[in-house]
Amino acid sequence: MRDVPKRDVKQVVYLLLGRPFPRWDERTLDVSWAIVSSVIKKLARVDDHTLIEALNKTGDLGAAAEEIFRERKLKKQASLIDKELTISDVARSLESIAELVGEGARERKERVLESILGQADPDEIKYLVKILLGEMRTGFNEGLMELAISRAFGVDTEVVRRASMLSGDLGEVAENAKLHGSESLRKMKFRFFRPIRPMLAQNAESLSEILETHGGRTALEFKLDGMRVQIHKLDDKVRIFSRRLTDVTSSFPEVESTVKKGLQAREAVLEGEVIAVGEDGSPLPFQYLMRRFRRIREADATLRAIPVKLFLFDLLLVDGEILIDSPYIERRERLSEIHGEIPVVEQIITEDVEHAKSFFEKAIEQGHEGIIAKNLNSTYTPGVRGKNWLKLKEVLEPLDLVIVAAEYGHGRRHKWLSDYYLAARDGEEDRFYVVGKTFKGLTDEEMSELTETLEKLAVRREGRRVHVKPEVVVEVLYNEIQRSPKYECGLALRFARISRIRYDKDPRESDTIQRVREIYEKQFEKKSRYRVEDRF
């Protein structure tokens, strides 16, 4: 970083983090796997078989492209200018790709990709492909980048972190640190409409653990089953961001309107939860909110079919005053002064386990996920998952399901069958219904062992997918069962993860699809039964 030319510092930071632009930038490359693979085959003069063979061997398209070009010694295309590829070249190409939209955009993007990949060496091609596809998994996250900037330019780490939080742009922070040093970072101001990374919560096992961790007294809030949002308001302009820092304002126009009209502050950065609600006002399952979120182009229909409601729970800035260094209890008090008619998430402050238990049961009874516990004296730490915020959810009964197919993974997992199709048996017919898919829960050793087992049970192959005899039973945890047209049975597990392999169980002892349907129906004892799908 210290030796990078000043003109390239920003882009080096973005590329190392695996993205073409700063995280607040709404531009996208919109480059598909098909486009990139087509360019690779054209430049290297290989067919589908060769590409798939390299892909199966390496686990991802970037590594496969590197191997193909290295084997063929195609370091540069003779038809192109023989010059070293520079960061500036890459930056210009990425910007050009992002600007290409509309009719003929695919072909023009392919020409730009041919030009830039044609100048690249095999190892450069590997990482360019990963960046283009959003698959740069180097483990080099923003926290490490902040530390690197601190060490490279002799600036205190906390100064770098605060500048990063306020500006929302680590590239800009690095450039300022290189050109002007520590003092320039201390002068960086908060930038509206550049979202702050959210503070995160750790899982807790019990209410007793929560109280002990927080020193015997804590604030408890309902954990709503919706979309966490960060809201920026500056005068009459309001924008809404998801927890992934994506602008979702167009998906929630009534939330935007509510904040404009109801919030009693000229400037504010707030956090809240948007939930879908039924005709009776009770929460709908999360999948309905996601259905609305995905159907931006059908805004009028979805607004009528799936109403949403905003609940606020934190305040990070108000009328020029930054509150992230203030204790949680003070931020909550300030929120109570400005929220107006916008509801806030229900909260209690307690030091009693029985009181906490009653509040938790109330949250579940009203159809929420559980509770969030917040240390009364904790400051807001963007991007950090710590014990100052703890979450406790309702524990659903695990299901014993059968693996009926699996896919070889990517990257580190490319040698293992590590993405598993989970099925419930039909208690009346001799067949299995897939109800979900997961790659979560198992150790490397367990995946290696399971790959060996499943390969012996293979009955059919489709590319990297292996269909197997339904003999391996796994215990599966999940958050919810939801309707899904993706699977024949019409249901799917949400956030499925394997808790253990049940080699001791026979497939005939696994849970039935009838049991899955029973659990699905039972959910509506607490959640609204609003038939959203009938409205489309």
Give the domain ranges of the chain.
18-132, 200-393, 399-525
Q: Using one digit for the tens of pLDDT, what is the confidence trace for 477-494?
A: 998 888 888 899 989 998
Q: What percentage of the chain carries pLDDT values higher than 70? A: 92
Helix, strand or coil, per DSSP, at residue 423 = strand
Instruction: Say what the pLDDT of residue 303 is.
Output: 63
Distance in angstroms (rounded) separating the CA atoms of residues 403 and 439: 12
Instruction: Say what the pLDDT of residue 295 is.
Output: 53
Question: Catalytic: 223?
Answer: yes
Distance in angstroms (rounded) separating the CA atoms of residues 97 and 485: 34
Pairing outcome for strands 480-483 and 308-318: unpaired
Distance in angstroms (rounded) separating the CA atoms of residues 378 and 376: 6
* CATH architecture of the domain formed by 399-525: Beta Barrel (2.40)
Distance in angstroms (rounded) separating the CA atoms of residues 446 and 440: 12
More confident residue, 52 or 315: 315
HEC readout, 10-31: HHHHHHHCCCCCCCCCCCCCCC
Structure tokens at 290: 């996601």
* Amino acid residing at 356: A
| Cβ-proximal residues to 197 (8 Å cutoff; 6+ apart), any chain | 142, 165, 245, 382, 383
Q: What is the mean pLDDT of the segment spanning 298-308? A: 66
Residue 470 pLDDT > 60, yes or no? yes
Structure tokens at 48: 């589908």
Instruction: Say what the pLDDT of residue 81 is.
Output: 47
| Cβ-proximal residues to 139 (8 Å cutoff; 6+ apart), any chain | none
Count other Cβ atoms within 10 Å, centred on residue 36.
21
Q: How confident is the model at residue 533 (pLDDT cuts 50, 70, 90)?
A: very low
Instruction: Say what the pLDDT of residue 415 is.
Output: 87
Name the least confident of 167-181, 197-211, 348-362, 520-534: 520-534
Residue with tokens 């700063």: 22
Distance in angstroms (rounded) separating the CA atoms of residues 95 and 83: 20
Instruction: Say what the pLDDT of residue 530 is.
Output: 52
Q: Using one digit for the tens of pLDDT, what is the confidence trace for 405-461?
A: 999 987 778 889 989 999 999 878 778 999 999 999 888 888 998 999 999 898 888
Residue 19 pLDDT > 50, yes or no? yes
**Burial of 70 by CB count in 10 Å (0-12 exposed, 13-18 middle, 19+ buried)?**
middle
Distance in angstroms (rounded) separating the CA atoms of residues 521 and 143: 43
Instruction: Say what the pLDDT of residue 315 is.
Output: 98
Mean residue pLDDT across the chain: 88
Instruction: Say what the pLDDT of residue 275 is.
Output: 92
Instruction: Say what the pLDDT of residue 198 is.
Output: 93
Q: How confident is the model at residue 468 (pLDDT cuts 50, 70, 90)?
A: very high
Structure tokens at 163: 């500048």
Distance in angstroms (rounded) separating the CA atoms of residues 411 and 384: 26
Instruction: Say what the pLDDT of residue 367 is.
Output: 85
Q: What is the mean pLDDT of the segment spanning 314-339? A: 97
| Cβ-proximal residues to 50 (8 Å cutoff; 6+ apart), any chain | 68
* CATH architecture of the domain formed by 200-393: 2-Layer Sandwich (3.30)
DSSP secondary structure of 44-110: HT--HHHHHHHHHHHSSHHHHHHHHHHHHT--S-TTS------HHHHHHHHHHHHH--STTHHHHHH
Q: Using one digit for the tens of pLDDT, what is the confidence trace for 349-369?
A: 999 999 999 999 999 888 888
Q: Using one digit for the tens of pLDDT, what is the confidence trace for 89-108?
A: 999 999 999 999 888 999 99
Q: How confident is the model at residue 139 (pLDDT cuts 50, 70, 90)?
A: low
Instruction: Say what the pLDDT of residue 140 is.
Output: 75
* Amino acid residing at 308: V
Residue 39 pLDDT > 50, yes or no? yes
In Å, how far are 134, 379, 412 from 418, measured between CA atoms?
Answer: 20, 39, 10
Instruction: Say what the pLDDT of residue 138 is.
Output: 67
Residue 130 pLDDT > 60, yes or no? yes
Q: How confident is the model at residue 499 (pLDDT cuts 50, 70, 90)?
A: confident
Q: What is the mean pLDDT of the segment spanning 289-310? A: 67
Q: Using one digit for the tens of pLDDT, what is the confidence trace for 61-70?
A: 898 999 999 8
More confident residue, 2 or 177: 177
Instruction: Say what the pLDDT of residue 302 is.
Output: 55
Cβ proximity of 370 and 356 under 8 Å: no
Closest C-alpha to 378, from 360, 368, 390, 370: 390
Q: Using one digit for the tens of pLDDT, what is the confidence trace for 195-209?
A: 999 999 998 989 999
Q: What percentage of the chain carries pLDDT values higher than 90? A: 59
Beta strands in 182-301 (DSSP E): 200-203, 218-223, 227-234, 237-242, 267-276
Helix, strand or coil, per DSSP, at residue 379 = coil
Q: What is the mean pLDDT of the segment spanning 323-348? A: 97
Residue 536 pLDDT > 60, yes or no? no
More confident residue, 245 or 326: 326
Residue 20 pLDDT > 70, yes or no? yes
Catalytic residue among 223, 233, 309, 527: 223
More confident residue, 504 or 401: 401
Name the least confident of 52-56, 109-113, 451-455: 52-56
Would you tell me which CATH number, out of the four given (3.40.50.2300, 1.10.3260.10, 1.10.260.40, 3.30.70.260), belongs to the domain 18-132?
1.10.3260.10
Instruction: Say what the pLDDT of residue 532 is.
Output: 44
Instruction: Say what the pLDDT of residue 155 is.
Output: 95
Report the predicted TM-score, pTM, of the whole model to 2 decimal places: 0.78
* Most confident of the following: 119-133, 191-205, 339-353: 339-353
Instruction: Say what the pLDDT of residue 373 is.
Output: 98
